[in-house]
């Protein structure tokens, strides 16, 4: 036990190939994990299961968060309730994973909104790595699965590598739904940019190599241009959005 304790202490403040990993308090959340390679700073908050900070060292956080929820967690690991006693989404922001497409929420979770709290807001286990952290979600009481995400920062530059998987641990609450299909759906909320550029997938199954959301197609078409048939350029003017899933 003493050897294990020492190993954890060393890992909590380790430096590996120019990457520093340590535990910090971040915006009121304790035991957050800070990863710093001298160029960028990444902060992962296991208490709510997500990346909450990504930016250049000394620079602004690119990720968006709601200040009214800083330092808070889900009550007892369960969703908050609204005035009518219904589940309410606590929109912490940052980068997290949802396990199923939204059209499947009602069938699997028993309610169409909010998302599964085991993945979005639940307390995750954290294991420090030499160059990052591994966070593991609770097992969902709805779908019987959990997410495992390894978040690593390269020795220099701005690149972050995220390796993630969904592990099936138990049967879904409604066993008649089995076998369930899962989707590793990254949901990343960023601060409003002036302009953004996205490379289009050359192997996309979409004819145009992108597909606008039906409800926002008109606005999206006004807001973006395709550069040289390879990049999707967005200059926000009136809202809207599109998918570039490939």
In tens, the pLDDT along 105-157 reads: 999 999 999 999 999 999 999 999 999 999 999 999 999 999 999 999 999 99
Mean pLDDT of 57-85: 96
The segment with the largest mean pLDDT, out of 95-104, 209-218, 231-240, is: 95-104
Query: Which of 159 and 193 is assigned the larger pLDDT?
Result: 159
Angle 153-184-46 from CA coordinates, rounded to 5°? 50
> Domain segments of the chain: what residues?
2-188, 196-243
pTM of the model: 0.81
Please give the share of the chain, as a percent, with pLDDT higher than 70.
79
Asked if the model's pLDDT at residue 229 lies above 90, the reply is: no
- Rounded to 5 degrees, what are φ and ψ at 141? -75, -15
Q: Average pLDDT of the chain?
A: 85
Q: How many whole angstroms separate alpha carbon 8 and alpha carbon 40?
A: 24
Q: In a 10 Å sphere around its CB, with 0-12 CB exposed, 13-18 middle and 19+ buried, how is residue 80 labelled? A: middle
Under DSSP, the state recorded for 138 is P
Q: How many whole angstroms separate alpha carbon 32 and alpha carbon 50?
A: 10
Per-residue pLDDT band for 1 (boundaries 50, 70, 90) equals very low
Q: How many whole angstroms separate alpha carbon 49 and alpha carbon 124?
A: 5
Helix (H, G, I), strand (E, B) or coil at 41: strand
R_g of the chain, CA atoms, integer Å: 20
DSSP percent split of the chain into helix, strand, coil, nearest 5: 15, 40, 45
Please give the share of the chain, as a percent, with pLDDT higher than 90.
68
Quote the pLDDT of residue 179: 96
pLDDT tens, position by position, 74-114: 999 999 999 999 999 999 999 999 999 999 999 999 999 99
Count CB neighbours of 115 within 10 A: 22
H/E element, 10: helix 2-12
Quote the pLDDT of residue 4: 21
pLDDT tens, position by position, 158-168: 999 999 999 99
Quote the pLDDT of residue 246: 37
H/E element, 150: strand 145-153
Quote the pLDDT of residue 204: 85
């Amino acid at each position: 036990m003493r050897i294990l304790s020492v190993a954890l202490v060393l890992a909590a403040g380790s430096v590996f190939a120019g990457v520093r990993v340590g535990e910090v308090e971040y915006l009121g959340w304790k035991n957050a994990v800070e990863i710093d390679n001298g160029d960028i700073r990444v902060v992962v908050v296991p208490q709510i299961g997500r990346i909450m900070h990504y930016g250049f060292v000394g620079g602004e956080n690119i990720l968006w968060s709601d200040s009214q929820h800083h330092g808070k967690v889900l009550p007892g690991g369960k969703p908050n309730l609204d005035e009518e006693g219904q589940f309410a989404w606590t929109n912490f922001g940052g980068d997290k994973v949802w396990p199923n497409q939204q059209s499947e929420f009602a069938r699997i979770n028993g309610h169409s909104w909010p998302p599964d709290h085991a993945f979005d807001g639940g307390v995750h286990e954290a294991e420090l790595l030499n160059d990052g952290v591994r966070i593991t979600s609770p097992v969902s009481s709805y779908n019987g699965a959990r997410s495992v995400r390894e978040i690593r920062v390269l020795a220099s530059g701005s690149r972050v590598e995220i390796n993630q998987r969904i592990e099936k641990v138990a049967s879904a609450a409604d066993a008649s739904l089995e076998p369930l299909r899962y989707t590793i759906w990254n949901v990343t909320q960023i601060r409003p940019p002036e302009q953004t550029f996205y490379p289009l997938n050359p192997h996309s199954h979409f004819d145009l190599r992108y597909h606008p959301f039906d409800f926002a197609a008109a606005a999206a078409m006004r807001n973006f241009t395709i550069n040289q048939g390879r990049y999707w350029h967005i200059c926000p003017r009136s809202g809207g959005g599109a998918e570039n899933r490939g």
